[in-house]
C-alpha cells in the first residue's frame, strides 16, 4: 500500500515546491533583484549542480554531437528557458505569486492547442471528448482574461505580519506598481506569453528526444546554453554591476531555491512520477500549486489575494480538467477500437483456418 500511495505523496511535494518557487521568486524581485540577473544566477547554479551529476551518470556512454543537434538545443533553450523564464519573471514582478501559479495551470492546455496546430493532436467536435477539449481551451482563455481584467476585492490575510518585506518605492517595486491596472494586465499577458513559450518548449523537446535519448544530458546542455544566453540579456539590461551583488537575504534564498527546484529535487521526483503514473497523472496535480500559493499567502506571508486571481485560477483549473478528461476519453475509445479490430482479425483467421480444413 505504501508504494501505491507514494506517487500521490510525491506530486503533492512537487506542487508545494513549485508554489514556493513562485513565492520566493516574487519576494526576490520585490527585494530589488533584477529579473534578468535572477535568471542568469539560477541557471548558472543549475548548470553547476547538474554537470557533475551528468558526468557521473553518463561517463561510460558516448554521444555524437552534430552541429545541427546542438543548434536545435540552443534554440530550445532560447525559447523555453531564456525567453520563457525572463517573461515569467517580469510578469511575476508586475503581478503576484498567485497570478503566476494560476497561469501555471494553463500550460497543459496551451501545449495541447499548439500540438493541435502542429497536427500532433486531433479535435473532433462531433464527439464528447472533442467538445471537452475545445471547452477546456475556451475556459483556460477565459480564466486568463479574468485574471488580467478583473482584480475585484482583495481577500485579507489572516497573518498581518509580512514574512518578506519589499524595498521602498524608490527601488521601483512599490505596491502601487503592482496594483496598477495597466501593469497588472501587462504582467498577466507576459505570464501567458511565458506559458506559450514553455508549451512550445515541451512540444519541441518531443522531437529532439527522438534523436537525443539522454534526458539528463539534454537538460544539462540546455542549462549551459541558457546560462550564456541569460548572461548576455542581463548585461544588456543591467550594466551596473553593483546591482548584481546579493547578500544573505531573500534574494540569495530565491536564487538558490529556484536553481535547486529546476535542477534538483522536483526534477527527479517529477521524472519518477512520469515514469510510474504517466504525464496525465502529473498534470492533474497542477491545481495544487495555486492552492498552496493562496494558503501560503493568506496564512504565512501576510499578503492579500485578489478575488479575480482566485476565480481566474478556478477557470483555468476547470479548463485543464476538461482537456485531460477529453484526452482520457479519447484514449479509451482508441484502445477499445484497437481491441475490437484485433478480435475481428483473430476471428477472420479462425474462419479461414476452418474453411481450409
How long a stretch of residues is the chain? 357
Phi, psi at 168, each rounded to 5° = -70, 175
Cell numbers of 269, please? 521526483
- Calculate the alpha carbon distances from 222 to 45, 56, 205, 226, 257 in Å: 13, 18, 11, 6, 19
Q: Which residues of 38-56 are buried (b: 16+ CB within 10 A; e: fewer)?
A: bbbbbbbbbbebbeeebee
The structure's pTM equals: 0.78
List, in order, residues 6 or more apart from 36 with CB less than 8 Å away.
Answer: 86, 89, 230, 233, 234, 237, 238
> What is the predicted pLDDT for the residue at 1?
45
With beta carbons less than 8 A apart as the criterion, state whether 204 and 28 touch.
no
From first to last of its 357 residues, the chain has per-residue pLDDT tens of 456 778 888 888 988 888 888 888 888 888 889 999 999 999 999 899 888 988 888 777 766 778 888 898 899 899 988 999 999 999 988 888 888 888 877 887 887 777 778 777 777 888 888 899 889 888 888 888 888 788 888 878 776 666 665 554 433 333 434 456 778 888 889 998 998 898 888 778 767 777 776 777 888 888 899 999 999 999 999 888 888 988 888 889 989 998 887 656 776 677 677 667 766 677 778 788 888 888 887 777 777 888 888 888 889 889 888 888 888 888 888 888 777 766 666 655 555 555 555
Beta bridge partners of 155: 305
CA distance 274 to 279: 5
Q: Is 216 left (phi over 0), alpha (psi -120 to 50) or beta?
A: alpha
| Residue 230: HSE in the Cβ half-sphere, 13 Å Cα cutoff | 31
Backbone CA torsion sign across 152, 155, 160, 166: negative
CA distance 224 to 203: 21
With beta carbons less than 8 A apart as the criterion, state whether 303 and 157 touch.
yes
Q: What is the DSSP letter of 31?
A: T
Angle at alpha carbon of residue 7, lines to 5 and 11, rounded to 5°:
120
With beta carbons less than 8 A apart as the criterion, state whether 77 and 69 touch.
no
Domain ranges of the chain: 2-356
Cell numbers of 155, please? 481577500
Helix H or strand E segment including 206? helix 181-209
DSSP 147-183: HHH---SEE--S--S-SS----GGGT--HHHHH-HHH
Q: Which of 300, 345, 353, 276 is nearest to 9 (CA)?
A: 276
Amino acid at each position: 500500500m505504501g508504494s501505491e500511495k507514494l506517487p500521490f505523496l510525491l506530486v503533492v511535494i512537487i506542487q508545494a515546491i513549485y508554489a514556493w518557487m513562485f513565492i520566493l521568486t516574487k519576494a526576490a524581485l520585490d527585494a530589488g533583484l533584477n529579473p534578468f540577473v535572477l535568471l542568469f544566477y539560477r541557471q548558472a547554479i543549475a548548470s553547476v549542480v547538474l554537470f557533475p551529476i551528468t558526468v557521473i551518470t553518463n561517463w561510460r556512454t558516448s554521444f555524437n554531437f552534430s552541429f545541427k543537434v546542438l543548434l536545435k538545443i540552443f534554440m530550445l533553450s532560447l525559447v523555453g528557458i531564456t525567453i520563457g523564464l525572463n517573461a515569467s519573471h517580469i510578469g511575476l514582478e508586475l503581478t503576484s505569486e498567485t497570478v503566476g501559479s494560476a497561469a501555471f495551470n494553463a500550460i497543459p492546455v496551451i501545449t495541447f492547442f499548439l500540438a493541435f496546430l502542429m497536427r500532433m493532436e486531433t479535435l473532433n467536435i462531433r464527439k464528447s471528448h472533442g467538445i471537452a477539449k475545445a471547452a477546456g481551451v475556451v475556459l483556460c482563455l477565459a480564466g486568463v482574461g479574468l485574471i488580467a481584467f478583473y482584480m475585484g476585492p482583495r481577500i485579507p490575510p489572516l497573518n498581518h505580519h509580512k514574512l518578506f518585506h519589499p524595498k521602498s518605492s524608490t527601488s521601483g517595486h512599490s505596491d502601487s506598481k503592482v496594483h496598477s491596472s495597466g501593469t497588472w494586465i501587462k504582467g498577466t499577458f507576459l505570464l501567458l506569453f511565458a506559458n506559450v513559450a514553455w508549451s512550445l518548449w515541451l512540444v519541441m523537446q518531443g522531437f529532439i528526444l527522438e534523436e537525443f535519448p539522454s534526458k539528463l544530458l539534454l537538460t544539462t546542455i540546455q542549462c549551459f546554453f541558457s546560462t550564456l544566453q541569460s548572461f548576455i540579456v542581463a548585461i544588456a539590461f543591467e550594466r551596473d554591476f553593483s546591482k548584481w551583488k546579493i547578500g544573505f537575504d531573500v534574494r540569495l534564498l530565491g536564487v538558490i531555491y529556484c536553481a535547486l527546484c529546476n535542477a534538483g529535487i522536483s526534477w527527479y521526483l517529477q521524472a519518477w512520477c512520469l515514469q510510474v503514473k504517466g504525464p496525465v497523472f502529473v498534470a492533474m496535480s497542477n491545481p495544487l500549486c495555486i492552492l498552496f500559493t493562496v494558503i501560503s499567502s493568506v496564512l504565512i506571508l501576510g499578503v492579500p489575494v485578489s478575488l479575480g486571481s482566485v476565480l481566474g485560477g478556478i477557470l483555468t483549473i476547470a479548463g485543464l480538467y476538461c482537456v485531460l478528461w477529453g484526452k482520457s476519453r479519447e484514449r479509451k475509445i482508441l484502445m477499445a477500437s484497437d481491441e475490437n479490430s484485433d478480435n475481428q482479425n483473430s476471428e477472420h483467421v479462425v474462419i479461414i483456418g476452418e474453411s481450409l480444413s
